[in-house]
A and B are shown apart, each in its own frame.
Chain A
Amino acid sequence: MKWNSHFIIGLIVMGFASVFFIQTYQLPEVSSLQTSAAFMPRMYSVLLFICGLLLLLQSFRKSGNIKVENKKLLSLLVLLLLLYIILMPIIGFYVVTPVFLFIALWFLKVRGKWSLILVPSIATLSVFLFFQYLLKVPIPLGLFA
């Protein structure tokens, strides 16, 4: 068994399809005159399962290995984004956003004083002006509500 990407993704796809397929049995059956809610999802999950299987079988002929550069940096930034999203409803957009931008720029090796200060400020201000003021789209304020 070659544990290459075709194999893994094929397996994931088959698993996903199976979960959905099993779930369809929780849906109510209906009389033969109507089509049940489970009909299309069942069809889709079966077809998806077959595709996943085909992909898995392809792994014996093809080998697609994924390369990721800058793994640490990427994971750090994804985690930072995660924290940003978690904290936003708690502390509010206008606090977390400049902080997020500052830290993200720092991780990305931006060191210019002007960039580090101007970019977060202008970006946050622009969102305020365009979204909240002009378009009246509410922005999460968190503690400041």
Chain B
Amino acid sequence: MELLQGLMSVFHWEVLLILILGCAAGISIGALPGLTATMGVALILPITFGMEAASGILLLIGVYFGSIYGGSITAILLRTPGTPSSAATAIDGYELTKKGHAQKALTMAVVASVIGGILSVILLIFVAPSLAEFALKFSAPETFALAFFGITIISSISGESLLKGLIAGFFGLLIATIGIDPMGGFPRFTFGSTDLMSGINFIPIMIGLFAAATAFESIEDIFKKSVVDFSKAVKGAKLTWIDFKYSIVTILRSSGIGAFIGMIPGAGGDIAAFVAYNEARRFSKDKDSFGKGNINGVAAPEAANNGSTGGAMIPLLTLGIPGDAVTAVMLGALMVQGLQPGPMLFTNNMGLINTLFAGMIVANLIILMFGLLGVKLFTKVLLIPKMILTPIILVLCVVGSYSLNNNMFDVWVMFTFGLIGYFMLKFGIPASPIILAIILGPLMESSFRRALTMSNGSYEIFYTRPISATLIAVGLITLISPFIKKWYTNKRSA
């Protein structure tokens, strides 16, 4: 089979070395808050110009896949998503760390990520063209429906108080409207400031809300000895076969969710992770444990975000339409190498494509190796005394926020949201709804308005189109279900 030929061409030491370097760079970039997968790929891109096509693309793939996994490390250990795709992982991941189960969470993160990644590559290899057609059916109404569904997930991640979650969500939605209105071109809520004209970038917000806020909070008990026991003797510290079996269905489902969402142009790992988290909770027999350290709360988003990598490559390779921001950068890489993505790519350059497929699988295996080897090393971070770690984290927050746009304004955003995030932590308002709202809000609004323009103001377009109607219905069910559950339990106890 030609795929075997592709595999053979990957197992040359130069190619393997490139993949290893790419994955290592990717994991490091992903782990650092402030550096995202998109940035990582964009930063490494110029290096690939002088390389051969296959090697160059594989280097980028290594960085891409590695960074999507890497974000989980800091998300779990420090409640700081290294990349937006790991924002959902931080919810249960950090709770597991607090219980002393960091090793289990980290191991699950890498295993789930790699399974998600490999499954999505297999999907890519076997069913790419037909799936790409499905992705194309997505127009403004469907995108709105997906974004709307994504927003309703807020009810799932609100934890104890839905009201507080909604406050965070609406607050995030409002913040997301700051800037120049994409449809009309008129500045909104800029209060005369030029910095606010392009809106508030959500990466500094995320760094502030998660990293800085957690750092501030840790100052409160910084002198107390760590109550968490890190010895291996702690029950549940390591990932066991039983844990894995418990999570297999979740991982498989989440990989599928990730691959499908990755395929949709404009939707990437971050959305996939939250949707997978939501579905994992919906199908779980132990819903209330989500948010308190359920291992599936780590498995689901990690399988989904890596699953979206293969998914995003599908429209990229088959149609030349990027599935997410990173693949948009890769489109540039492909074209610089003289490759035109689309149906022609499969007829003219099958050898290269097979090398890419094989390389993607090997990249995932390399990530598995790094991840498993690194678990012990990563958990050592927790042994660093908080007095030393906290100032370092604060410096990283500043550097990370600055490196986005070489702009001190982003650092101020981070600082402000660090303070806001701290008070939210004290008062019990969850931070994830804000992130979800900021990621999806603009998408939801612009696709809503575009859809209405398409239908000349008629709302019919949303419920007459099957995909859109289904997604909106699922979203409404997600939103209403906590209320129904409460009403039901009240009735039963009466």
In the complex, whether B131 has a CB less than 8 A from a CB of chain A is: no
In the complex, whether A145 has a CB less than 8 A from a CB of chain B is: no
Once bound together, how far apart are the Cα atoms of A74 and B418, in whole Å? 13
Q: Which residues of B contact A47 (CB under 8 A)?
A: 166, 170
Q: Which of B449-481 contact A (CB under 8 A)?
A: 449, 452-453, 456-457
Pair B394/A104 contact, Cβ less than 8 Å: yes
B242 vs chain A, min Cβ distance (A): 39
In the complex, whether B399 has a CB less than 8 A from a CB of chain A is: yes
Pair B394/A27 contact, Cβ less than 8 Å: no
Which stretch in B73-81, B173-181, B345-353 binds the other chain? B173-181
CB pairs A–B below 8 angstroms (18 shown)? A9-B429, A13-B171, A16-B174, A32-B457, A35-B449, A58-B163, A68-B426, A73-B222, A85-B412, A88-B398, A88-B411, A89-B408, A101-B395, A105-B387, A115-B388, A123-B395, A139-B402, A140-B408
Answer whether A110 and B387 are a contact pair too, CB < 8 Å, given A33-B457, A37-B181, A47-B170.
yes
Pair A52/B403 contact, Cβ less than 8 Å: no
Which residues of B does A touch, CB under 8 Å?
28-29, 32, 35, 43, 163-164, 166-167, 170-171, 173-174, 177, 181, 183-184, 186, 188-189, 216, 219-223, 385, 387-388, 390-392, 394-395, 398-399, 402-403, 406, 408, 411-412, 415, 419, 426-429, 445, 448-449, 452-453, 456-457
Q: Which of A18-50 contact B (CB under 8 A)?
A: 20, 23, 27-28, 30, 32-37, 39-41, 44-45, 47-48
Q: Is the interface of B mostly helix, strand, loop or mixed?
A: helix
Q: Which residues of B contact A137 (CB under 8 A)?
A: 43, 403, 406
Pair A48/B170 contact, Cβ less than 8 Å: yes
Pair A44/B395 contact, Cβ less than 8 Å: no
Once bound together, how far apart are the Cα atoms of A6 and B471, in whole Å? 35
Once bound together, how far apart are the Cα atoms of A51 and B35, in whole Å? 34
Q: Is the interface of A mostly helix, strand, loop or mixed?
A: helix
- For the complex, count residues of A whose C-beta is within 8 A of B: 64
Q: Which residues of A contact B385 (CB under 8 A)?
A: 110
Pair A81/B394 contact, Cβ less than 8 Å: yes
In the complex, whether A60 has a CB less than 8 A from a CB of chain B is: no
Pair B184/A84 contact, Cβ less than 8 Å: no
